[in-house]
Chains A and B, each alone.
Chain A
Amino acid sequence: MTEAPETTPSRRALIGWGGAGLALGAVAAGGAVAMARTGDDVVPAAAGTGAAIPFHGERQAGIATPVQDRLHFAAFDVKTDDRAEFVQLLKDWTAAARRMTAGQSVGEGAYGGLAEAPPDDTGEALGLKPSRLTLTFGFGPSLFEKYGEAFGIADARPEALAELPKFAGDNLDKNRSGGDLCVQACADDPQVAVHAIRNLARIGMGKVVIRWSQLGFGKTSSTTPEEQTPRNLMGFKDGTRNIAGTETDRLEKFVWVGEKDGPAWMAGGSYLVARRIRMHIETWDRTSLQEQEDIFGRDKGEGAPVGKAKERDEPFLKAMLPDAHVRLAHPDSNDGATILRRGYSFTDGTDGLGRLDAGLFFLAYQRDPRTGFIRIQRNLALDALNEYIQHVGSALFAVPPGVRDKDDWWGRTLFGKEA
């Protein structure tokens, strides 16, 4: 089956049409990660091995590499206008990230140092495996607005890094939106992901502050299609047609910024859209099965598109209702627009009214948000799913290319002299 759905942006994402595709995760280790959510089909393989994902590479890890089980995502605001101090922070962060992704503690460790000094590392990841931790770093549009002059990067702002437009139905909380910088920490062990963000935040104190952060569990899309397709909190398979880590051609076409796209410092990078999408869980749960399946355009059990038998059967969009989520989000409905989804479910307890504060923390990587998320999200204005979801947080980041070796650092192509 496999249809097209990969493209889908937001809500869909959350919702997921299930389908997805296939991809397979590239990184070896990864693969099989289990998605806890479904229980019986969990394939603990790679997750269970606790292996490390290489930190160095042409691209940053955490995009096309296999999706881990857990997320801690943090947006930071910069508090220094001193370029040298900021660059030093990027180097310090990179050094810490290099160690943590290898399963090592930061600095001089969590114990054994001077008794009078607090340890460099906070210690809660001692004894835990690397757990496929990836740390993926990006710059937000506000960094260029606030510090473009001070840092001498005003002219380097990519055109693609314009603030996202307002979309129909948005109800954005500024305390869950934006950010000058981001770090996406994904790991199979939540404690490893939280440890990474906590230690980076601590290293950054005085230079950067956390603006907001989000925990996620149960990936809602995978880049490893040989695995069971994950389900979102609405109970539908999500990401059947997502771009796989092995699909080099589609990655080049839809995810990685090309040499000629400009600016040069972003070549090999990608753009990340993050959306906190709250689900009206209780009303959804009271919705009839027929309506639920009509809204998605797939059946709930198998995940097959309307009129088809299997999840990966090619969808026939016209068989779906005009406002079905999969139909509206499908590349065929969006001039081919396709994005790589990497979102997670979240449940931040309950709200003051006793309702689950739950939904999808949608993360999508793309070559250009204008032809990716923005294109698709606009098409979702009439999505039937909108009755059951609300976008409450939003952010966009330019994710630079990978850290190549031990002397390289996050953002060098933007801040390094040779860039």
Chain B
Amino acid sequence: MAMQQYQTVRFKLNGRDVERTVDVRASLTDMLRNDYRMTSVKKGCEVGECGACTVIIDGEAFNSCIYLAVWAEGKSITTLEGLLGPNGELSDIQQAFVEEAAIQCGFCTPGFILTAWEILESGKEYTDEQLRKLLSGHLCRCTGYENILRAVKKTMYRRLGKEV
């Protein structure tokens, strides 16, 4: 066990080059929360069921709880902290979550926003049914998903320059 228990991981975190020596058994969630204090990365199940720990890795949304920290080597990782503007401005999708009352307890919110961001970055127009499916990797017990769908749709149409 003592052999190779620690490894140095170099990656880009929210646009900044970082490096840290981590336990090879640590999950990306653990590294981001414990070593970098990215506390928007939430733990709801730690086995990839709830989506609360979602982060963006090289443009794609992942459950960071079932992604080893050492796999982050050379990757570019965005957490919710990375979506905020330099003066604390909310990104469009965050703003839509606020406007549409899509936030209640707030614990699933960071993960949902990041998956929504990935969906929106595709630049495609999706139907409600497609959006529901794309977002279904996240569990929420407060909202019934209704206002989350509204927030994502609203932002999608805004980006496409269309009316909802």
Asked if A and B bind, the verdict is no
